[in-house]
Structure 1
């Protein structure tokens, strides 16, 4: 059947390829035997090559997938296109020839390198009887299958001596979300005969696809243990097979990804696209950039959780959602949450000391603010005002935290893409268009918005709202200074001021990032050619919404805590007494270590690195520490900071707007980072308060460094590698979050990426 399919493909390609040649050069072809041989021989030789490789894999591998028709289709089509274009002397001949060579090389790479462990002289595979499999833990045997209900292990004593691979056919019971299961393979052999040595560790959604793990025992294999961790739903093991080699599997995903990436590079080289200049008024280029922005925005849908709404009942207290409780408090015309306070709690000498709270035996709601005998939510109120209330008015229900975070993050991605484009339009005259196209998704990936999506919870919702409003504030603010129409400028400035107020109501520390707009607005106020009325109207358009928002925040603080500057953080019932946190210059250097230099740590599971937990024991006081990813994890950030002096050297004027914009991005980032570390500690979500500013700085500096007037092909390539590397690292960190929405609802993405990258099973 396979040969028949391949033969049909070959005949079809030959006929389709011969038609245009016959139509164009029918008479000449009768005398030109070389053209006939080229036209018919190219796909024929390609088909014979595919057939020989297929027969080789059939004979010397344990098993194989039916890849011949598809592989022959690709290679034969490219061979025929090359022959046709050569005969017709087409300008596309060079590209197609390189595509043909690339397809053959990638096919050989996939077959003989990525699947090198699959070849053996005498393929063997055997399905083990469940009766010979021992179990430890909660394991039941039903109809020849093993049902695992919790963390357990399966033991295979005296497996076949030829065993070099274990194939597990299993499926986990789940409805919508799936909790990935960790499978650890251990063996006993001559080198370790008493204890099991763990040799493979995989994280799998167990959705029905066989899990393949290879082993390399020394001399005699005594026993194999399959350990299961993180089992929350019943998992059915239908069969366990052993083989003397890893089953052959041609990965079309890996083939096409590599083909697309290298093929794009080939087209860029042949078409000389690397020298295309970005023109902000070019409609085609603007459309391409907006399509990239749209793709980045749509990518957020992978984190869309099915639980979008929650019913609101004034008599039911949703203690899992402090924003819903704040909404409930507003509905009841009160500032404090409608929660009862344990009287024992009020008798504790220092209720904010966790040790004293625990010793008293009093019940306390975790991480809410307790003040004057009432509970308060110290998180920003903007999500309640701008998401919960509109959602309730429209649907009569409240959004879940995950859905509210998704909406804010989706908007934040779109606004950030527009912000990057606007900054490039404002500051860079000659920008490489292809590198700009790569810079947009990289900046989105590195700004922290996907971390927020992956970790949607009580603590990240203010981040999501803050990012959304900060990006909108910066985008509309810079766009306003570039607009020539007075009416449009006023509207944009009002929108920028409102967004800044909402950012401050979401996460006050993050709102400091809007200070990078200061040089733009000072330039307007100091413009000598503009009348005073013109300046006052623009200043009022921005400042009035900011002042009104500030008055609201101060009044809200006063009504809750009796002080206009008290946001309630010091009254948290959390791991320590927040009153002990204060600004200190001595904390600057630990901040640099944790927020900038702390790189990810390694782990056993793909992608083999994750957020790091590090203690340097030189703080002089208690400091809250958790898993943190330093900004130098992304090559984009250190590269941008290192190239800042080069950018300044090209700017002659001391009062250059671009120069002060970069300085403020860097300086305000340090200020926010220092403040967050002193008052909060070290955790990844604090890094996101200033990470977008460093991303903006780095993108601007790198794109300036490869300016067409000063750049070179080498600089362009280095810049592209930096952007691509940062994008890849961010992608791996994002899909590797075990408890994320992406892992639960789209675990096939994680599994596909792992199988594509990790070809050594």
Structure 2
């Protein structure tokens, strides 16, 4: 019966689609309204029949349910038939307490065919870890463990306690192990065998499926449109921002003891940026005496650090109380993260409201700002491209820009680490956009050039390694000034070079050059002064004085043995694919590096399907990119991206958060390749096939990141908010 229902749902969905086409409803009525209604109907039909097909299975001939009281091991046979001997159903039950946790073990004599098992617990525990063992007709001598390594029973989510089994023939014995902490002991264990999965109409799944079908329909209706205007791009941007906000909300969702949703918690501990805010209001830059209960105790901690042979060695600080991940120099704590977010966000809000803003709010604000900047930059490049590109190609490029940049992984962290990176990213991309728009034909818009220079310089004040980003805009500035200075190509490379330099530094460009240089000089001098008053050096940002997991003063750019690691992990390493939701995970493996290497999970940038197009860059540099006049910009993005990849690995280590430093740089040339490929295909009348090809790459990239961003290898969602993670799992894995 259940499989008939599964097929029936698909058949009904096809009939609805066929009826809409047969009666020509798209032409008789507003096609978008018809599309939405049809999508909702199909989603509802699939939800009722196909996605809930297991609920139609019905009870097996042999079924039973029983309750076990954990305080005394007594059990009651609740309902069912004679599949078991009522007097010996529970062969053994015991509970053991060890190191603050309790393990419950129940052995059941079944002697029947088992197809479904449900475990329902009476406990205040948010999650309970479970293991299931069995004996069947093929395994009779000893228990065999089921192949679920991460079985967790979630409070308020009954489906998490359901297991669909595939044992051989009749099952003789079942053994269930449940583990929780002793503060949340289990009062009662209810076991149900061979009861079908409960029918669960998942409204979220219905709406998401309807939205997906509506989106596909809208793409189909508008594929051949030459332009869609700002409305479509605004809608796309809003959808992207809603997704980012949704990811942010589920990472901070809270649930009560019964597993019911109670809201979100966006508060965070006072961190280094909050401390720097307080320090600046006191007229100093060190963090001593702020965010501490006792200055005397803090001074004792500092004196203890100073007595160590090397306070920057983690193990020497074991057992000591001190401020983690601060710079420590001459008996004072400092913030070695860029000061710009404090000056422009934390400090103004504190001075106006007297409130130290939560870093979680700052982080999500900056991420949304970076998303806007990415969409705007992609749109700017499309506008400057010498041929019109299909708007859907531009929208797909925008979506990939956000995903490939690793920006979504910064939503999961929401700490000051991410604030430093994302603020630098937003400033750099905004600066590039301003500089591109500053040069128009033979004119220079000095206000935009000034804004671009300010933003690029500020990015260094957010994260010092973003000084490399300024080399990306150098070809834009030089070429723009050359055109404004009247440069024209002539015969002879030497003569061209001389004429180019003369055009760049012509009298006409003096004002523009000053406008571009002044922000770098002023902001640079400010940063150098800030460094000097802290560490006695204008070039030291405090990186080598970190109280973190390693003495970073020993990191060297000349350590070329990290180059293969940077290439493999930063560029080439594909994600792991397995059979467990969410199926795609980042990688964590040994590097065989003979020394300390900070590393978390990672995925190579070129693992993104859309990034495969970078192999076409040499081809495009000689064609479309050359004609558009942005060849130097594309090359600079590639070179700086590769250099930043090595720099980040050599001086920081391995983390997807670090990938946000360079991933966006490597995507910039890919933007041009995408536009060039589409333009060439259009000229050769194969636009349709290129549209499909690029669409597949875009969808594969977006889906890959949607799955990976919630995976345990990249996110703590499964542990921090299991109610959300396992609801997402059950929504996707409907056949479980």
Distance change >3 Å, CA 544–CA 245, structure 1 → 2: same
Match of 1:661 in 2: 633
Tell me how far 1:687 sits from its aligned partner. Answer: 1.5
Secondary structure of 2:147 counterpart: strand
Match of 2:349 in 1: 391
Instruction: Verify: 1:207 aligned to 2:156, yes or no.
Output: yes
Distance change >3 Å, CA 77–CA 678, structure 1 → 2: closer
Q: Distance in 1 between matches of 2:329 and 2:675?
A: 50
Q: Distance in 1 between matches of 2:322 and 2:481?
A: 52
Q: Distance in 1 between matches of 2:176 and 2:597?
A: 42
Secondary structure of 2:439 counterpart: helix
Q: Distance in 2 between matches of 1:135 and 1:715?
A: 64
Q: Distance in 2 between matches of 1:418 and 1:213?
A: 48
Q: Distance in 2 between matches of 1:504 and 1:373?
A: 27
Match of 1:346 in 2: 306
Tell me how far 1:552 sits from its aligned partner. Answer: 0.8
Match of 1:325 in 2: 275
Match of 1:48 in 2: none
Distance change >3 Å, CA 661–CA 120, structure 1 → 2: same
Tell me how far 1:740 sits from its aligned partner. Answer: 5.5
Q: Distance in 1 between matches of 2:670 and 2:22?
A: 47
**1:531-542 equivalence runs, <5 A:** 532=506, 534-542=508-516
Deviates more, 1:382-391 or 1:235-244: 235-244
Instruction: Verify: 1:157 aligned to 2:108, yes or no.
Output: yes
Secondary structure of 1:398 counterpart: coil
Match of 2:391 in 1: 433
RMSD: 4.2
Instruction: Verify: 1:421 aligned to 2:371, yes or no.
Output: no
**1:353-372 equivalence runs, <5 A:** 353-358=313-318, 362-372=320-330
Deviates more, 1:558-567 or 1:125-134: 125-134
Deviates more, 1:391-400 or 1:730-739: 730-739
Match of 1:43 in 2: none
Match of 1:127 in 2: 65
1:412-463 deviations in Å (ceiling 9; x for gaps): 1111111111112122513122222222223212212211111112322211
Tell me how far 1:114 sits from its aligned partner. Answer: 7.8
Secondary structure of 1:370 counterpart: strand
**1:549-628 equivalence runs, <5 A:** 549-584=523-558, 585-601=560-576, 606-617=581-592, 619-628=593-602
Q: Distance in 2 between matches of 1:136 and 1:513?
A: 60
Q: Distance in 2 between matches of 1:101 and 1:560?
A: 61
Secondary structure of 1:449 counterpart: coil
Secondary structure of 1:459 counterpart: helix
Q: Distance in 1 between matches of 2:469 and 2:238?
A: 25
Match of 2:707 in 1: 732
Distance change >3 Å, CA 309–CA 652, structure 1 → 2: closer
Match of 1:504 in 2: 460
1:345-386 deviations in Å (ceiling 9; x for gaps): 21222222334444xx65443222221121212111112111
Aligned residue-pair number: 663
Secondary structure of 1:760 counterpart: coil
Secondary structure of 1:406 counterpart: helix
Tell me how far 1:96 sits from its aligned partner. Answer: 8.6
Tell me how far 1:230 sits from its aligned partner. Answer: 8.9
Distance change >3 Å, CA 113–CA 555, structure 1 → 2: closer
In structure 1, which of residues 240, 262, 274 is the aligned counterpart of residue 223 of structure 2?
A: 274
Distance change >3 Å, CA 609–CA 261, structure 1 → 2: closer
Instruction: Verify: 1:670 aligned to 2:626, yes or no.
Output: no
**1:183-202 equivalence runs, <5 A:** 183-190=130-137, 191=139, 193-200=141-148, 201-202=150-151
Tell me how far 1:334 sits from its aligned partner. Answer: 2.1
Deviates more, 1:378-387 or 1:698-707: 698-707
- When normalised by structure 2's length, the TM-score is 0.78
Secondary structure of 2:473 counterpart: helix
Secondary structure of 1:460 counterpart: helix
Distance change >3 Å, CA 308–CA 751, structure 1 → 2: closer
Tell me how far 1:733 sits from its aligned partner. Answer: 1.2
Secondary structure of 2:683 counterpart: coil
**1:160-171 equivalence runs, <5 A:** 161-169=112-120
Q: Distance in 1 between matches of 2:654 and 2:714?
A: 21
1:648-686 deviations in Å (ceiling 9; x for gaps): 242485x96322222111100011111111112222222
Instruction: Verify: 1:405 aligned to 2:379, yes or no.
Output: no
Instruction: Verify: 1:513 aligned to 2:460, yes or no.
Output: no
Secondary structure of 1:399 counterpart: coil
Q: Distance in 2 between matches of 1:228 and 1:632?
A: 41
Q: Distance in 2 between matches of 1:189 and 1:662?
A: 63
- The answer to whether the 8 A contact 2:95-2:103 is kept is yes
Match of 2:496 in 1: none
- The answer to whether the 8 A contact 1:510-1:690 is kept is no
1:102-157 deviations in Å (ceiling 9; x for gaps): 98899689846984796479566543222447454579xxxxxxxxx956445342
In structure 2, which of residues 166, 171, 184 is the aligned counterpart of residue 220 of structure 1?
A: 171
In structure 1, which of residues 635, 638, 659 is the aligned counterpart of residue 609 of structure 2?
A: 635
Q: Distance in 1 between matches of 2:211 and 2:699?
A: 15
Q: Distance in 1 between matches of 2:214 and 2:17?
A: 13
Match of 1:5 in 2: none
- The answer to whether the 8 A contact 1:292-1:440 is kept is no
Match of 2:417 in 1: 459
Match of 2:79 in 1: none
Q: Distance in 2 between matches of 1:378 and 1:679?
A: 14
Secondary structure of 1:726 counterpart: helix
- When normalised by structure 1's length, the TM-score is 0.76
- The answer to whether the 8 A contact 2:43-2:209 is kept is no
Q: Distance in 1 between matches of 2:39 and 2:372?
A: 39
Distance change >3 Å, CA 594–CA 299, structure 1 → 2: same
Instruction: Verify: 1:286 aligned to 2:234, yes or no.
Output: no
Q: Distance in 2 between matches of 1:687 and 1:422?
A: 24
Tell me how far 1:167 sits from its aligned partner. Answer: 2.5
Q: Distance in 1 between matches of 2:159 and 2:703?
A: 27
Secondary structure of 1:187 counterpart: strand
Deviates more, 1:750-759 or 1:70-79: 70-79
Q: Distance in 2 between matches of 1:690 and 1:494?
A: 24
Distance change >3 Å, CA 397–CA 104, structure 1 → 2: closer
Deviates more, 1:225-234 or 1:401-410: 225-234
Residue segments in structure 1 that go unaligned for 5+ positions in a row: 1-55, 140-148, 311-317
Match of 1:8 in 2: none
Secondary structure of 1:616 counterpart: coil
Instruction: Verify: 1:758 aligned to 2:733, yes or no.
Output: yes
Secondary structure of 1:706 counterpart: helix
Q: Distance in 2 between matches of 1:323 and 1:206?
A: 36
- The answer to whether the 8 A contact 1:85-1:92 is kept is no
